[in-house]
Amino acid sequence: MMLGGNTVLITGGATGIGFAIAERFAKLGNTVIICGRRQEKLDEARKKIPELNIKKCDIASESGRKELYDWISKDFPGLSVLVNNAGIQRSIDFRKGMGDLLNNEDEIEINLKSQVYMSALFMPLLMKQKESAIINVGSGLGFVPLAIFPIYCATKAAIHSFTMSLRHQLRDTSVKVFEVIPPTVHDTELKGKPFPKTDYSITAAEMADAVVKGFEADRYEISAGPSGGWLTASKSDLDKAFHEINH
Ligand SMILES: NC(=O)c1ccc[n+]([C@@H]2O[C@H](COP(=O)([O-])OP(=O)(O)OC[C@H]3O[C@@H](n4cnc5c(N)ncnc54)[C@H](OP(=O)(O)O)[C@@H]3O)[C@@H](O)[C@H]2O)c1
């Protein structure tokens, strides 16, 4: 993919990995639009990068997605890259029955259904462009689940499967389909606050650098750090990793 001259929409682009990707794409001469639910985070992001276009939007709501689509197709009809990055992560203890499930935001809605619906909704616009892309943000935990986040990991495994099918369906179109598979990225808000750096974690900036490199090289599965090995690991290696991370 060309690194400049695109019009890029990044869901959840005001913080963390999404913001680091926005920063890089803006510097490379792309028009960048970010969306998220919290206006103050969008304002903070634009203070840091004044050329960002911002839109308050809950992508888990059908009307939110439709409003975003209507605005973009009118004001940014050249949209050529959709980065499905928005996501949440919750610990859910099934020993409590319905308790944690009901007390948490719906990860299936935000992490899975929204990415699927955003891809379908924006497809006609993306298919109009000479060259375009969808970048779905999955996770290494889609390959090796961390059991305290059971729904999160399941949504990311589903994103991997969905992205493979989408890439195959779109193989004869102008739309290239990428999956970003981060390991632990310690300096983001995913768990409410940044978490401690470990030997197995990287920064959002390092992840975004890998995204830019992979995007330029048309490498459709983009990883960095330890999750890279999980993409090609054997079943017994994945089982071993499962026991290690859940110890
Ligand atoms: N950090 C890691 O270790 C890690 C590892 C693997 C994969 N990932 C994936 O990377 C992506 C980005 O996460 P991050 O680590 O950068 O965490 P983050 O800083 O919390 O970013 C998530 C972003 O998504 C937005 N968002 C959440 N729900 C939304 C909704 N319904 N509508 C619109 N925007 C929404 C949030 O903004 P609002 O709350 O303001 O809406 C936030 O800006 C996620 O898909 C995550 O699963 C992260």
Distance between Cα 85 and ligand 1 center (Å): 6
- Of 2-6, 7-11, 228-232, minimum mean pLDDT range: 228-232
134 pLDDT band (50/70/90 cuts)?
A: very high
Predicted pLDDT at 193? 74
Q: Is the pLDDT of residue 217 over 80?
A: yes
How large is the average pLDDT for residues 39-49? 98
146 pLDDT band (50/70/90 cuts)?
A: very high
DSSP-derived 3-state class of residue 246:
coil
Q: Is the pLDDT of residue 73 over 80?
A: yes
Testing ligand 1's pocket by substitution, the residue of 188, 200, 207 carrying the most ligand atoms inside 8 A of its CB is: 188
**Which sequence positions are flagged as catalytic?**
152
List the domain boundaries for the chain: 7-245
How large is the average pLDDT for residues 28-38? 98
Q: ∠129-130-136 over CA atoms, to 5°? A: 65
Domain 7-245: CATH superfamily, name plus number = NAD(P)-binding Rossmann-like Domain (3.40.50.720)
Distance between Cα 234 and ligand 1 center (Å): 29
Q: Is the pLDDT of residue 200 over 90?
A: no
Say if pTM beats, i.e. exceeds, 0.95: yes
Exposure string of 71-90, with b = 16+ CB inside 10 Å and e = fewer, is: ebeeebeebbbbbbbbbbbb
Predicted pLDDT at 25? 98
